[in-house]
Amino acid sequence: MRRLYALVPLKNLSCAKTRLANALADADRSALVMAMAHDVTVALAQSRLIERVVLVSDIADLPDLIGVPGVTRYIPASACGLNEDLSEAAVWAGDQGATDVLIAHADLPLLTPALIDRFAQATRPGELRIAPCKHDSGTNLLLAPLPLPLVYGAGSLARFQSLAAAAGLSCDLWRNPMLAMDIDELADYEALQFLCQHGSFRNSATAALLRRQMGQMGRSLRTEIQPQLRYGSSFHKKIALFST
């Protein structure tokens, strides 16, 4: 019987989302990271298919800061990097009885329990399932049997596909704009502002934070999609359709 653990990596807040530094002060960036991590953790905790949600981080008192009942933390022994930390946590999960892990990044504020259950169900034994990022090059969600080497970093999607092929595993790509939208740059932040006002996302902790931040800045939320956003208005239109 499959026993599925979810692993959510979260690095030190002082290093998080530095590409938003021109738009947000340090405290605002930290608050955004924690709000998104809260929403991701809530979605995972409410999934019918995930047995245990584990935050992989050395941030002190992180489960209390996230505030989601039943969520635990794994503290990497060395904190050497994303692949090393997650690999160590995956070995620990296997020791606890997990047969598979679902690795979800903490900056996926459109994640929902229903999406997770659809993503996690009906995988075949020995199959990897990946939700690519909006550029179709990174890996936002990874569902994999244990043990499995981890190869995150720029261009990780192709590396995971090569890894699966070399191991004789199938690799299923699960493209969905709600899962593809990770938050890294100003264009992503602006897209969140739009969805905060126009989509179901508006009821989340991240949306509540955005409303407060925009109010403090004396600015209103964007009410139209900007065509110059780097990954195009068509992506935002897909997001709007999926989130209504």
User: Which residue from 101, 184, 91, 206 is spatially nearest to 137, judged by alpha carbons?
Assistant: 184
CATH of domain 4-175: 3.90.550.10
Query: What per-residue confidence (pLDDT) applies to 167?
Result: 87
- Report yes or no: 86 and 106 within 8 Å, Cβ to Cβ: no
C-alpha to C-alpha distance for 21 and 43, rounded to whole angstroms: 27
- Cα 23 → chain centroid: 21
How far, in Å, CA of 148 to CA of 7, rounded? 14
Per-residue pLDDT of the chain (244 residues; tens, 9 = 90+): 889 999 999 987 766 777 787 777 888 888 899 999 999 999 999 999 999 999 999 888 898 889 899 999 999 987 678 999 999 999 999 999 999 999 999 999 999 999 999 999 867 777 899 999 999 999 999 999 998 889 999 999 999 999 999 988 889 999 999 999 999 888 888 888 888 777 667 778 998 898 887 776 555 444 333 433 444 444 555 555 455 4
Q: Structure pTM? A: 0.87
β-pairing, 127-132 vs 72-74, is unpaired
**Residue 216: what pLDDT?**
67
What per-residue confidence (pLDDT) applies to 217? 59
What is the residue extent of each domain of the chain?
4-175, 186-243
